[in-house]
Structures are given as C-alpha cells and as structure tokens.
C-alpha cells in the first residue's frame, strides 16, 4: 500500500513537469569580406572604426595587389582608378605624387622628363640639372614603383607613350611604407605615392604630370542592410579624415 501511495505522489509530481523549450541559437552573421590594394590600406582604419559603431557588423580585411583580388571572394573591394564589378561607388578623389630623397636638389620635373626616367632614357640626375655639383648625386637614377600590375603602377603606366617600356632597373615594393622607406634610404631614388601618404621624410616634386583618380568601392550587387551601412560609414569616416 505504501509503495502504491509513493507511486501516486511521484506520478502527480512528474505530471506537473513540462520540458522547457530550448533557447533559440543566436543568429550567425557572416563577416563582410573586404579587399583593398596596398595604396588604399589606410581605409582599414575607417572600416575597423565603423565595426565599433554598427551593431552586428563583423569584417575581414585582406590587402592584395589588384591582380590577386578575386571579385567573387569579397563583398567590398577598394581599388584605385577602376572598379572590379558592375556595382561601383566612388569613395574619394586621390592624386599621385612623385617623391625623391630630401637631399636631392631637384625641385621639379616635366612630364617628358618623368616619362624618360621611367623608360630608362634619362638615367643620370645630372642630365636633369647639369649645374648640380658632381659629388651631390650619383650618376644612376633609381626608380621605385609599386608591384607590377598593381593599380597605382597601372595608373603610372597609363601616362606613358605606348612605345616606352618601364626601365629594367626599376625596383618594385609592396606598399607605401616600403616606398617611403626606399626613398628615405636612397639619395638617388624616385618613387610615386598617393598624396594622402605624403610625409615630411621625403620631398614631393612639382610636375605637370597630373595623375588624379577615384578610389572606388566595388560590390557584387546593390548593397543593402549591414553592407550598405558599412559602406556609408566608411565613406563618412574617410571624408571626415580629409578635413
């Protein structure tokens, strides 16, 4: 009898227990994949700042030469001059600046002189300024460019006549910090960087070769939701940093 009573009590208690519904799993938001060319890598700071301001946004950033960016693998691609998809939005205007070592007495170059230097037809700084003391500059001009097929290098190549081939002695560097360091370390060097990257450690040259171009954000389709919010935020941050 006692066992029977205990079973009744247990049955009554168990009948009041209802299994709780499992808590729904949090929504998994895939990261927004961003690729940018080396000359535009400063935009990474704006993108990372936007992540802190837009709830739910997660990003990954790869810095690659333009010829290594597979547009199918990224949601946003930042390039110089030309975009990579049919959906393109201009972020800002930029200008290329030719730079030399601060010890170089040269102040300006004409378009024709720059073309001849890049093509290897002018190889001696004294050909530019014959009155320069012989011991102030070496006889060989050293050209530095971004990597072959990089978007900035392509912009420079577009300025050359079709019959000019880049000097075989040209040295290629992967990014702006390396370009600036190369010119800082080489009194005979000449390079080119976006104006935004210019510092007092190198000397800009005055020239009539005006290379201005847009920084372009390319996407796979008409942006919506978090992607659109991120792009708008990046555009605002970059525009604000210019002022």
Report the CATH fold assignment for 32-93+214-242: D-Maltodextrin-Binding Protein; domain 2 (3.40.190)
Query: Given this model, what pLDDT does residue 103 score?
Result: 93
What are the 10-residue block averages of pLDDT along the chain, 243 residues in total? 53 55 68 96 95 94 94 96 93 95 94 94 86 59 92 93 88 95 96 95 95 96 94 92 66
- Taking the C-alpha atoms of residue 146 and residue 131, their distance in angstroms, rounded to an integer, is 31
| Domains of the chain, residue spans | 32-93+214-242, 94-213
Tell if the pTM clears 0.95, that is, is over it.
no
Query: Given this model, what pLDDT does residue 174 score?
Result: 93
The answer to whether the 32-93+214-242 and 94-213 domains have the same CATH topology is: yes
Query: Given this model, what pLDDT does residue 149 score?
Result: 84
149 is written with which tokens? 């097929």
- With beta carbons less than 8 A apart as the criterion, state whether 66 and 149 touch: yes
Query: Given this model, what pLDDT does residue 29 score?
Result: 74
- How far CA 142 is from CA of 32, 78, 90, 190, in Å, comes to 40, 29, 34, 6
Query: Given this model, what pLDDT does residue 164 score?
Result: 84
Pick the CATH number of 94-213 from 3.30.360.10, 3.40.50.1860, 3.30.300.180, 3.40.190.10: 3.40.190.10
Query: Given this model, what pLDDT does residue 243 score?
Result: 55
């Amino acid at each position: 009898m006692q066992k029977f009573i205990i079973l009744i009590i247990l049955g009554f208690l168990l009948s009041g227990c209802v299994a709780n519904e499992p808590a729904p799993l949090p929504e998994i938001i895939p990261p927004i994949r961003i690729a940018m060319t080396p000359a535009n890598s400063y935009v990474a700071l704006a993108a990372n700042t936007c992540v802190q301001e837009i709830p739910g946004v997660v990003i990954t950033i790869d810095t690659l030469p333009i010829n290594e960016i597979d547009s199918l693998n990224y949601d946003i691609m930042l390039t110089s001059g030309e975009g990579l998809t049919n959906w393109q939005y201009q972020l800002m205007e930029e200008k290329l600046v030719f730079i030399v070592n601060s010890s170089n007495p040269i102040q300006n170059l004409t378009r024709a002189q720059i073309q001849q230097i890049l093509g290897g037809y002018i190889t001696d700084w004294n050909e530019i300024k014959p009155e320069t003391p012989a011991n102030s500059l070496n006889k060989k001009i050293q050209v530095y460019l971004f990597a072959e097929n990089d978007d900035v290098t392509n912009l420079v190549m577009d300025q050359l006549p079709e019959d000019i081939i880049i000097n075989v002695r040209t040295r290629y560097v992967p990014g702006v910090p390396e370009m600036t360091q190369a010119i800082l370390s080489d009194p005979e060097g000449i390079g080119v960087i976006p104006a935004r990257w210019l510092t007092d450690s190198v000397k800009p040259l005055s020239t009539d070769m005006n290379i201005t171009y847009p920084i372009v954000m390319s996407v796979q389709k008409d942006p919506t939701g978090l992607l659109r919010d991120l792009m708008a935020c990046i555009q605002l941050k970059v525009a604000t940093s210019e002022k």
